[in-house]
Amino acid sequence: MVVQIKALACQLPFDSGIPLSRFSTNDIVAEAVDRGIVAQISGSTVWRWLDQDAIKPWQYRSWIFPRDPQFEQKAGLVLDLYQGIWKGKALQSNEFVISADEKTSIQARRRKHKSLPPIKQHCEKVEHEYERMGSLNYIAAWDVHHAKIFGHCEPKSGILAFDSLVSDVMNREPYASAKRVFWIVDNGSSHRGQKAIKRFKSKWPKIVLVHLPVHASWLNQIEIFFSILQRKVLTPNDFASLIDLEDTIIAFEKRYEKIAKPFEWKFTRDDLSKMMKKLSQNRFQLAKAA
C-alpha cells in the first residue's frame, strides 16, 4: 500500500487523464480511494509516507533540458576553466578567464510618489504606479579568478556594443600583456558561432572564445553578478532618468569590486557527468514507460 501511494505521487496527473497540473496530499488521498488502493486514509498519513523519501508532488521548478548534442563536452571546458584548467593543463599566472554577457532592457521607472524609508514596525514603502523613462542594456565582464568587474551601459546591444567592452578589457593590464585570455560567452547574436571566433581572433589574437552550450547561461558566472545587481540595485526599481540608472549601476560596480571575491564555484566536471547520466537514465525510463 505504501509503495502504491508513493508510486501514485510520482506520476504526472495528466498522464492518467486527471485534470490537475500536480497532486496535493488531498488529491492523492482521493485518487487512492478511487483506484481502490485503500478504503480510507488521512492526508497526514500520506504526507508522512511521502516525507520519508522527500517526495513533494505539489512542488515544481522550471527546467531546461539539455538539447545540445555536445552539451557535456562544451560545458566541461567551461567548468575546467573555473578550476584553472584548459584541455588537461593548468593555466599559467599570465592567463585569465573572463565571463561575459548582456543584461538587456533594464527599465528606468520613476515612481509617481517618493518612496518612504522604513520606520519602526514598518518596511520601506514604494509607490506601485510609475512612469517609464526608457531602458538601457548593461554589458559586463567578470574576471573569474581575480574578482574584477567591467561594465558598459549602452542604448542598444549588438556587435559594436559588445566589442567595445572587449576592447576596454583587453587594452588594460594585465590582459593587454597576457599570454591568453579566455572569454566565456553564451550564444547571443553579438558573439555567436565561428564568425564571432574569427572576428575576435582577428581583433584580439590573445583571446580564446569559449561558447557555452545552448540554454546553459546558468553555467556563466557573470549571471551571478547580474543577480546581485538585480537584488541590490534594481529591485525596487525607482530611477528618475536613464542617466540616473546608468550612474547608479556604474557606481555599484565600483562599490562591489572593493569587497568582491571570486565566486565559490562548486559544480565541477564530475558533477556535470553525474547530472547528464541521471538525465539520460530518466529519459530511458520515460521512453520505456511510453
Q: Quick one: the chain helix, strand, coil %, rounded to 5?
A: 40, 20, 40
Task: Cell 529519459: give the residue.
Answer: 283
Nearest to 177 by CA among 101, 92, 82: 92
Q: Where are the alpha helices (DSSP H) in the chain?
A: 2-9, 25-34, 43-52, 71-82, 159-170, 193-203, 222-232, 242-259, 269-289
**Average pLDDT rounded to a whole number, residues 268-280:** 90
State how far the Cα of 282 lies from the Cα of 118, in Å rounded to an integer.
49
Which element (helix H / strand E) includes 99?
strand 95-111
Q: Mind listing the pLDDT tens digit for each residue in 20-68?
A: 999 999 999 999 999 999 999 999 999 999 999 999 999 999 888 888 8
**Average pLDDT rounded to a whole number, residues 238-267:** 97
State how far the Cα of 199 lies from the Cα of 98, in Å rounded to an integer.
17
State how far the Cα of 280 lies from the Cα of 289, in Å rounded to an integer.
14
Task: Cell 520519508: give the residue.
Answer: 52
Q: What is the pTM of this model?
A: 0.85
Omega of the bond prior to 13 within 30 degrees of 0, cis? no
> Which domains are seen in the chain, by residue range?
2-52 (no CATH), 71-259 (3.30.420.10)
Q: Mind listing the pLDDT tens digit for each residue in 93-132?
A: 999 999 999 999 999 999 999 999 999 999 999 999 999 9
At position 97, the amino acid (one-letter code) is V
pLDDT band at 283 (very low <50, low <70, confident <90, very high): low
